[in-house]
Amino acid sequence: MSQKVSPPPTSTNCLPTLVAKERELSWQVASNILVSFRYAWAGIVYGFQTQRNFRIHVSVCGLAIALSIFLHLQAVEIAVIGITSGLVLALELLNTAIESVVDLTVKQTYHELAKIAKDCAAGAVLISALVAVLVAGILLLPPLAHLIVSAL
């Protein structure tokens, strides 16, 4: 019994040419692991190019890790900051994916369930970002305060 493969989905909105070319046949199963990584990287690039909040989170993540290294935090503390920051970035990409699928589904119309899906995805990002700020504050503020006081 053979299954038919459905044709690739069509969309009325225009994606940037670069992403569109790379993703032309993305509805098919990737032929090898390198192609899978290329698709994943295209998603990260798309998020960085189109999502202001993703760029902000990447910047704050980089700053937190750089400050961790500068303050000579222990490896486990840097890892905790990296994990919480990575979670924020991953959830931001999932938020973007959910928003895209919802927009594709409802097109230009309003639907209460679409609003709920988008709001919940954004709420997940917000919670993870607040937890990341809390973790970074707990780990970074004491050595930073000590450094400032000792400089005075």
Which residues are the active-site residues?
92
SS3 119: helix
Helix axes 75-106, 33-50, angle to 10 degrees: 80
Nearest CA to 51 out of 122, 127, 107, 114 is that of: 122
Whether the Cβ atoms of residue 48 and residue 16 lie closer than 8 Å to each other = no
The 3-state DSSP composition of the chain as helix, strand, coil percent (nearest 5) reads 75, 0, 25
Rounded to 10 degrees, what is the CA torsion of 110, 126, 20, 108?
A: 10
